[in-house]
């Protein structure tokens, strides 16, 4: 069972799963593939990136990190992640 952190919301898992399935995505593409609406996806991608589950590959383009894969594979407790300033 995945171990989400207190700062996570249910749509975070969907965003991470879509990026794992399709590769690097923009918030617009996340919405088009069945995820949350673009603006909300953009906000959540920023939060996920600050905690190390996603990386910003290019402005507005996000990819899954090793920690993101480990979380999806139930090998990482997201509560252990600390936010960064970047």
Q: 12-45 burial by CB neighbour count: b if 16+ within 10 A, else e?
A: bebbbebbeeeeebbbebbbeeebbebebbbebb
The predicted structure's pLDDT at residue 85: 74
Q: Write down the architecture of domain 10-78 according to CATH.
A: Orthogonal Bundle (1.10)
CA–chain centroid gap for 49, Å, is 7
Percent of the chain with pLDDT over 90: 95
The secondary structure of residue 61, as a DSSP letter, is E
Kindly report the pTM of this predicted structure: 0.94
Domain ranges in the chain are 10-78
Residue 48 pLDDT more than 80? yes
């Amino acid at each position: 069972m995945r171990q989400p952190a207190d700062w996570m919301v249910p749509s975070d898992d969907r965003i991470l799963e879509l990026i794992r399935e399709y590769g690097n995505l923009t918030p617009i593409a996340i919405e088009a593939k069945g995820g949350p609406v673009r603006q909300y996806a953009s906000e959540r991608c920023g939060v996920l990136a600050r905690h190390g589950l996603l990386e910003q590959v290019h402005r507005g383009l996000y990819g899954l990190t090793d920690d993101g894969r480990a979380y999806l594979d139930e090998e990482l407790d997201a509560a252990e992640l600390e936010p960064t300033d970047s």
